[in-house]
A and B are shown apart, each in its own frame.
Chain A
Amino acid sequence: MNLLLAALIGLLTACGVFLLLRARTFSVALGLMLLSYAVNLLLLASGRLVLQQPPVLEAGRAHFADPIPQALVLTAIVIGFGMTAFLIVLALRARAVLGSDHVDGVEPGPSGSASPGETPARG
């Protein structure tokens, strides 16, 4: 199980990073989503994998999963939601003002690559 989860976390990270490096804002938002899944699972994994022992106290049970990573992940999910929402609205505003959903705010020139040193228009 350890290997499977580690591999999945790695895969989610890889997909997230790849999308994060794309040029369109929507892809970046999706990449951030995948990346936060990976991070949340990683945080949870820091409490080690425990089956059927939720950290809810009840009589007759002596073993519980580590509650601290769970508390951290809960916070992370909330903040992640706030950030995704802000990011996506920011992207929409950028498109409204600049007319492009490219992350640099301008469509790259006909040569295909923004020339280094050239500052994109600021919104």
Chain B
Amino acid sequence: MLALIILLPVLGAALPLWLQRRGRNACAWGTALVVTLSMILLLGLAPAVFAGRLVQWGLPWIPALGLNASLRLDGLGLLFGLLITGIGLLVVLYARYYLAAHDNLARLYALLLLFMGAMLGIILADNVLLLLLFWELTSLCSFLLVGYWHERGDARRGARLALILTAGGGLALLAGLLWLGQVAGSFELSTVLLRGDVVRSDPAYLGILLLILLGVCTKSAQFPFHFWLPQAMAAPTPVSAYLHSATMVKAGVFLLARLFPVLAGTEAWFSLVGGVGLFTLLFAAYMALFQHDLKGLLAYSTISHLGLITLLLGIGTPLAAVAGVFHIINHATFKASLFMAAGIIEHESGCRDMRQLNGLFKYMPQTALLAMVAAAAMAGVPLLNGFLSKEMFFAETVHLARLGEISLLFPMLATVAGVFSVAYSARFIHDVFFNGEPINLPRLPHEPPRYLRVPVEILVALCLLVGMLPSYTVGPLLAVAASSVVGTALPPYSLAIWHGFNLPLLMSTLALFGGVLVYSQRAILFRLHERYPPPVGQLLFAAGLNRLLDGARWLTGWLENGALQRYLALLVLAALLAGLVGLWPTGLPATVHPGPALNLLDLVFGLLLALMALLTVRWHERRLLALLAAGGAGLVVVLAFVRFSAPDLALTQLTVEVVTTVLLLLALRFLPLEMRQNALHRPWRDMLLALAAGLGVAALAWGVLNTAPQPALADYFLTHSLPGGGGTNVVNVILVDFRGFDTLGETTVLVVAALGIAALLAGGLPQPVAPAVVSLPRALLLQIGVRPLLALTLLMAVYLFLRGHNLPGGGFVAGLVAALALVTQYLADDFRAVTVRLTLHYPRYMAAGLLLIAITGALSMVLGYPFLTSTFVHVQLPLLGDFELASAMAFDLGVFLVVIATVLAILLGLGDPGREAV
């Protein structure tokens, strides 16, 4: 049920897109239906919440990481859920009539629904990591919604700024929540909320608090991260009303309220949260007065009110928390209606600048009346909801005795904030609806369409109802929400309008008269403000961002100069540093496992390998010699495999060595025999790097060889090879059975390489510099010799293939040997003659091989075993004796086919003289 509340809007986001062909009304109805359903589901759970129960739902997701899809619904969640769905419904109606005919209404609705789902996710999440996921989703939706008119530069800039700040804060929040989860021992809120004492006494508390506050302050536009919100006003007004006043910016304070039982009540909480809130409250209230943009004023006012809520939560007493929750409700109603009213004014007049908007009362009296009531609520005029929560706020500041001598400062600052709040509310009303005549408006305004005003009317009615009859309307909801914030029983409080003559009432009165006074003397203030403008955070931020981008550009230019050698050198250097950092603290381990004794032959071949490697380097400008030396080194490596008990590796390396050498020889036809390296490319630097790399790897090898082996894994495969895989060649059994899936992947890589090569070759090769194979003088002896060799080599391949499961051999080696048998024919004989006799379509064989592997694997799935499980039977064959037929053999046959086809495709592609015409 809980999950459905979130899923409905998320999945329902497709509905308006689907309905848009049926017109705008169908679109709006569909969207409204989704929202309403979600709200009904929520209301269905309301009785349980009012009865004091916690509604929970959970689904384990990645329990090992503490990540569960667990949801909860308590009083706070219910309050926010009703705000989100309720105001969402009004916004859907409003947006239908607000957007112009050429704007894509369905896209806006889809995004709004997505956002609604994410926002509901935040408030319903029980797992803090899940909460964070939804948190980031709202940031993304906000980005897309602010940038809704993406053809406008200010919309794009505003969207980007909002995303950078809120998503950046989200990162800090992620760190904070992870840390919190570590300290509390759980990522489930249900558990975390009970561990407040543990968390508050932990040394990490301050770090957790700071990181979470970073997330909260960016999301809720608190100083010094407030400046994205005025920029986000480039969004369509329904979005501003919904995201940037009623819901998304409340996510920050929601999180503060959510974690209130865990984090609140310390000095750090009081000074940090309270300090940020107080400063934001004052600063933004002051700034709001000087905005000429209608929505800009409302944006700063929103910041200021969010500061007020933050301050109330920061004060940390239960009563303050009640006041904070109450103000969340009140602010959502009056600010959403004000935004909608501002939207109507802009919609009808085409202008948002208060220097041009004057005297609109006589053009749109009804709208004016609605806006006046809402603005009065914002100013805190009695009989309206804003008055009640502001009164409670004033009362809290008065009772704040804990600060000692400076506690008088609090009520004074609160009154100052009240004064400015009244002043900007007065400006909103007087400047727009009275104060002379409109100046140069694009259109002469008139009353909006009926339904554009309905949402405003509903919200304003709510302001009045709550303002006059608080305990009958909002009382129960407030009580249940506040009690889930406080965590304990609520202290007694009264929602009455009249508390007698007391200090809070005096403060309210002072604020009202002071505000009107300030507004009437605004000319002086405006001059002052223009002469001494406060530093604009947004400009500082933009400058910092530009510097960062310049730095990144410079770094990219420096690193990526287009020279491949430099990249490689940097990579080697980075690998060296990484290795050094790993090795540094411990050094090499002590020798506990001396290897086998050295004999003379080892030494001789060792020196031969060293010589070959050095000769490769020495001759690297003479390609043919270098290739021969490298091949020589490869042959000694084959011997090393033989010596160190790895017969399979020796076989494979030997055949691969031959194939690679043939391949490179063929390639040499297309390259000049000698070349000049670019002498200026710092051979000394490269030599130094190479030496360091060599030393490092040698040290690594030395360190590994000298420590004792860890036989556990090896023993597992050795003991299970025969009973489990039916083969005595453990390496082969690992490849085709235990790790068969890896081999499947590896074979696929080979096929992909071969197909890539074929595609490259189809594009043509450079003009060969050496004569083609076909025109070489025919080697008669070789030509006669290879004929019988073909049969012998193919037989050898079959033999290697069959014994592979039990003795060194296997599909891969067999494939290489068979391919070599065929290639030798081409090399020795007339190329075209062989081509005529041997017509193979290589891709078909590759496909057949891969298919065989896949079918072998799938068969075991059909029989109810995991993919690629093998089985085997023993059969008696004439001549060969007891013979084991394992299903892994079919697998190996697939490998065999792929290898033959791949090798032939590559070699013949390069060697085919028919391609020289290209």
CA distance A76 to B766 in the complex (A): 30
Residue in B595, B691, B728 with the greatest tally of chain A CB atoms within 10 Å: B595
Q: Which one, B119-127, B514-522, B714-722, is touching chain A? A: B714-722
Asked whether, in the complex, the Cβ of A23 is within 8 Å of the Cβ of B698, the reply is no
Asked whether, in the complex, the Cβ of A113 is within 8 Å of the Cβ of B597, the reply is no
Asked if B791 CB lies within 8 Å of chain A CBs, one says no
In the complex, chain A residues whose CB is within 8 Å of the CB of B652: 74, 77-78
Specify which of B594, B644, B691 is in contact with A44 (CB 8 Å cutoff): B644
CA distance A26 to B660 in the complex (A): 13
Residue on A nearest B572 in the bound complex, by CB: A17
Asked whether, in the complex, the Cβ of B637 is within 8 Å of the Cβ of A37, the reply is yes
Asked if B401 CB lies within 8 Å of chain A CBs, one says no
Asked whether, in the complex, the Cβ of A56 is within 8 Å of the Cβ of B746, the reply is no
CB B624 to nearest CB in A, in angstroms, measures: 10
In the complex, chain A residues whose CB is within 8 Å of the CB of B906: 85, 89
Asked if B630 CB lies within 8 Å of chain A CBs, one says yes
Asked whether, in the complex, the Cβ of B620 is within 8 Å of the Cβ of A75, the reply is no
Specify which of A11, A44, A85 is in contact with B610 (CB 8 Å cutoff): A11
CB A38 to nearest CB in B, in angstroms, measures: 6
CA distance A53 to B614 in the complex (A): 31
Asked if B847 CB lies within 8 Å of chain A CBs, one says no
In the complex, chain A residues whose CB is within 8 Å of the CB of B699: 6, 10
Asked whether, in the complex, the Cβ of A51 is within 8 Å of the Cβ of B753, the reply is no
In the complex, chain A residues whose CB is within 8 Å of the CB of B620: 19, 22, 27, 30
In the complex, chain B residues whose CB is within 8 Å of the CB of A2: 594-595, 702, 705-706
CA distance A29 to B396 in the complex (A): 77
In the complex, chain A residues whose CB is within 8 Å of the CB of B812: 74, 78
- The 0/1 profile, CB within 8 Å of A marked 1, for residues 586-609 of chain B is 000000011111100011001001
CA distance A117 to B561 in the complex (A): 4
Looking at chain A's contact residues, the main secondary structure is helix
Specify which of B558, B696, B766 is in contact with A95 (CB 8 Å cutoff): B766
CA distance A12 to B640 in the complex (A): 14
In the complex, chain B residues whose CB is within 8 Å of the CB of A56: 647, 728-730, 806-808
Looking at chain B's contact residues, the main secondary structure is helix
CA distance A65 to B700 in the complex (A): 20
Chain B interfacial residues counted at CB < 8 A: 115
In the complex, chain B residues whose CB is within 8 Å of the CB of A53: 645
Specify which of B701, B705, B717 is in contact with A67 (CB 8 Å cutoff): B717
CA distance A50 to B711 in the complex (A): 13
Residue on A nearest B761 in the bound complex, by CB: A89
Chain A interfacial residues counted at CB < 8 A: 93
In the complex, chain B residues whose CB is within 8 Å of the CB of A42: 697, 700-701, 704
- The 0/1 profile, CB within 8 Å of A marked 1, for residues 728-739 of chain B is 111100110001
CB A44 to nearest CB in B, in angstroms, measures: 6
Specify which of A6, A41, A95 is in contact with B702 (CB 8 Å cutoff): A6
In the complex, chain A residues whose CB is within 8 Å of the CB of B594: 2
CB A60 to nearest CB in B, in angstroms, measures: 13
Residue on A nearest B711 in the bound complex, by CB: A66
Asked whether, in the complex, the Cβ of B731 is within 8 Å of the Cβ of A27, the reply is no
Specify which of A18, A21, A74, A91 is in contact with B649 (CB 8 Å cutoff): A74
- The 0/1 profile, CB within 8 Å of B marked 1, for residues 56-71 of chain A is 1110000011111011
B668-706 interface (Cβ within 8 A of A) = 668, 670-671, 675, 677-681, 686-687, 689-691, 693-702, 704-706
CB B140 to nearest CB in A, in angstroms, measures: 34
CA distance A85 to B640 in the complex (A): 24
Asked whether, in the complex, the Cβ of B606 is within 8 Å of the Cβ of A8, the reply is yes
Asked whether, in the complex, the Cβ of B596 is within 8 Å of the Cβ of A57, the reply is no
CA distance A34 to B629 in the complex (A): 10
Residue on A nearest B705 in the bound complex, by CB: A2
Whether A23 touches B750, Cβ cut-off 8 Å, given contacts A3-B702, A10-B694, A73-B649, is no
CA distance A54 to B516 in the complex (A): 96
Asked whether, in the complex, the Cβ of A8 is within 8 Å of the Cβ of B596, the reply is no
A70-123 interface (Cβ within 8 A of B) = 70-71, 73-75, 77-86, 88-93, 95-97, 99, 101-104, 108, 112-114, 116-120
In the complex, 11 of the A-B residue pairs with CB atoms within 8 angstroms, ordered by the A residue number, are A2-B594, A2-B706, A17-B690, A19-B620, A30-B627, A34-B633, A44-B644, A68-B734, A84-B660, A104-B563, A116-B561
Sorted from nearest, which 6 A-B pairs have the closest CB atoms? A10-B698, A14-B694, A82-B753, A18-B690, A2-B595, A112-B680
